[in-house]
């Protein structure tokens, strides 16, 4: 590693430590040319796929855009910020595990709907109505019916 002080081409590693989570390595270094010390950090850089939009254009994956769209669907719903962050993390993990260079927005929308369905039924319906571009009340009713369960009759005792 190049020295940030004198731009010397070689530095020595004096100490290496991992953090508690195990996702970052801290290295203490010394430059033999100028004898200055500095710290570097290494962390894994996950490659998220390019997003292919419906019109064919491509863009980089945007963590904040995903989180904002989920937060909008969950607006004024009793879901914690931690739950939203965990859902976003699960979606990102799924995208990384797919190991694809490109992924259509439709696939991401399906992953978001799956997570919203687990978090909050109303948020799921909100997101689905926009994502699926409902044209009429019947399509909306079909989405709501996904959650309807047949009621069982209670036996009368007496």
pLDDT in tens, 57-98: 999 999 899 999 999 999 999 999 999 999 999 999 899 888
User: What confidence category does residue 102 fall into, taking pLDDT thresholds of 50, 70 and 90?
Assistant: very high
- What kind and span of H or E run contains 72? helix 63-73
User: What confidence category does residue 129 fall into, taking pLDDT thresholds of 50, 70 and 90?
Assistant: confident
From residue 68, how far is each of 74, 85, 104, 153 by CA, in Å?
Answer: 10, 11, 19, 42
Q: What is the mean pLDDT of the chain?
A: 85
- What is the reported pLDDT for 133? 66
The residues with which 25 forms a beta bridge, in sequence order, are 18, 42
Map out the domains of the chain as residue ranges. Answer: 12-43, 50-145
The residues with which 15 forms a beta bridge, in sequence order, are 28
- What is the reported pLDDT for 154? 44
* Cβ-defined contacts of 108-111 (< 8 Å, 24+): 108/51, 108/66
- What is the reported pLDDT for 130? 78
- What is the reported pLDDT for 155? 44
What is the Cα–Cα distance from 51 to 73, expressed in whole angstroms? 21
pLDDT in tens, 6-42: 999 999 999 999 877 777 899 999 999 999 999 998 8
Region of residue 7 (phi > 0: left; psi between -120 and 50: alpha; otherwise: beta)? left
pTM of the model: 0.60
Edge-to-edge strand order for the sheet containing 102-104? 58-59, 50-52, 102-104
């Amino acid at each position: 590693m190049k020295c940030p002080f004198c731009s010397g081409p070689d530095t020595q590693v004096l100490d290496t430590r991992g953090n508690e989570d195990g996702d970052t390595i801290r290295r203490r270094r010394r430059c033999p040319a100028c004898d200055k010390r500095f710290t570097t950090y290494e962390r894994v850089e996950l490659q998220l796929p390019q997003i292919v939009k419906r019109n064919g254009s491509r863009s980089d994956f945007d963590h904040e855009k995903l989180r904002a769209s989920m937060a909008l669907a969950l607006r004024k719903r009793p879901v914690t910020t931690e739950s939203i962050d965990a859902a976003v993390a699960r979606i990102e993990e799924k995208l990384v595990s797919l190991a694809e260079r490109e992924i259509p927005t439709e696939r991401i929308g399906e992953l978001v709907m799956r997570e919203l369905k687990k978090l909050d039924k109303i948020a799921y319906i909100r997101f689905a109505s926009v994502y699926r571009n409902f044209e009429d009340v019947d399509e909306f009713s079909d989405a709501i019916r996904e959650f309807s369960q047949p009621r069982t009759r209670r036996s009368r005792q007496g």
